[in-house]
Every structure is written in structure tokens, then in C-alpha cells.
């Protein structure tokens, strides 16, 4: 462009009357723009100072209670190192706290049923994420962005009749 626009007045001067109409109808630039106020839900905390949530993954279901503490995690009455021997499963449990920047801020008590250890770890992680939101509703955006609130709904496909497994057929025999 040969002549550059340096201010809003230069822009208005270069417009036709039809183009200028929407600019005139716009609100004043000096007027404060009120941002939409986000109303957070109230925290749900019981008489013992705990927050509860249910987490699910595959066939595993975990009931999770969190309360402010030192970061101790107990599953089915056992410490997390005993219950989840693999470090990867213990890492799964820490992910929601790291995303919310609340490492070692809450104690977790959980009961897990169904599925295998991997499914139970995923269910406890899901439950921790949901319980954090009921305790501190402001933590929802980082947990949602990390994908911790989405339930992994994949389950084993059922076996069909006339089949060896869910989809596998019996071996074909010509004679």
C-alpha cells in the first residue's frame, strides 16, 4: 500500500458512507467492556472435609474421596506402592494433581472394583479428577484440557453365538 493507515481517523477518512455506518454504531472505545462473569458451582464437601467422586474405566469402578493432606494415596486399604506395583500405574494417579498444580496437597482414599489393575488405575485417576473439581471448581479448565474428565468407555466386546470369540469364527473344514 502506498499510503499507510496510522490511526482510526485515517481509516474512517478512507471509507465511504456505507462502510462508515457500522463503525458509528459501535460502542465507545473508552467505555469499559464488562467481561461475562463466570459463576462457579459451590464446592461439595462433606462433614469430614472430604469430597467424593466416582471414576470409571473399562469394567473398573473406583469410589474416590479426597481431603486436604500430605499427598498419601490409599486404594482398598493398601498404600499405592503396594496396590499398584508398576510405576506407570502410580504415575497415572499423579497426573491430575500435576495438571492442577496440587502435588502433595490432598490425601486420597479409594476403593476400586472390577477390571484389571490398569483399568482400576484409570478409574482412580478419573475419580481423583472429578473429586478435585467438586472440591475446587476452579480446577476444571486445566483438568478438562488434560483430558482427565473424559471416561474411557471402551469395554470388551461380548461373545456372539456361532462364533469362537466375539468375532473369530470356527476354523473352516471342507470335509
Tens-digit pLDDT profile for residues 79-107: 999 999 999 999 999 999 999 998 989 99
Q: pTM for this structure?
A: 0.73
The segments of the chain whose pLDDT lies below 70 read 1-36
Read off the pLDDT of residues 58-80 as tens digits, 9 standing for 90 and up. Answer: 999 999 999 999 989 999 999 99
**What was the pLDDT predicted at 129?**
94
Could you tell me how far CA 16 lies from the centroid of its own chain? 50
CB within 8 A of 50, min separation 6: which ones?
65, 66, 67, 109
E strand intervals along the chain: 51-57, 60-68, 73-75, 78-79, 106-113
**Contact assessment for residue 114 and residue 61, using Cβ atoms and an 8 Å cutoff:** yes
Query: In terms of CATH architecture, what is 51-140?
Result: 2-Layer Sandwich (3.30)
**What was the pLDDT predicted at 76?**
95
Amino acid at each position: 500500500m502506498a499510503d499507510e493507515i496510522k490511526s482510526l481517523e485515517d481509516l474512517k477518512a478512507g471509507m465511504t458512507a456505507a462502510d462508515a455506518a457500522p463503525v458509528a454504531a459501535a460502542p465507545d472505545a473508552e467505555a469499559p467492556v464488562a467481561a461475562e462473569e463466570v459463576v462457579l458451582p459451590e464446592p461439595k464437601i462433606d462433614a469430614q472435609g472430604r469430597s467424593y467422586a466416582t471414576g470409571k474405566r473399562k469394567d473398573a469402578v473406583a469410589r474416590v474421596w479426597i481431603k486436604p493432606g500430605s499427598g498419601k494415596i490409599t486404594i482398598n486399604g493398601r498404600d499405592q506402592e503396594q496396590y499398584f506395583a508398576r510405576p506407570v500405574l502410580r504415575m497415572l494417579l499423579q497426573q491430575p494433581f500435576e495438571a492442577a498444580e496440587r502435588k502433595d496437597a490432598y490425601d486420597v482414599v479409594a476403593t476400586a472394583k472390577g477390571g484389571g489393575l490398569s483399568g482400576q488405575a484409570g478409574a482412580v485417576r478419573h475419580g481423583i479428577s472429578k473429586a478435585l473439581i467438586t472440591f475446587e471448581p476452579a480446577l476444571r479448565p486445566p483438568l478438562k484440557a488434560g483430558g482427565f474428565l473424559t471416561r474411557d468407555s471402551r469395554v470388551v466386546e461380548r461373545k456372539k453365538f456361532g462364533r469362537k470369540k466375539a468375532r473369530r469364527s470356527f476354523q473352516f473344514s471342507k470335509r
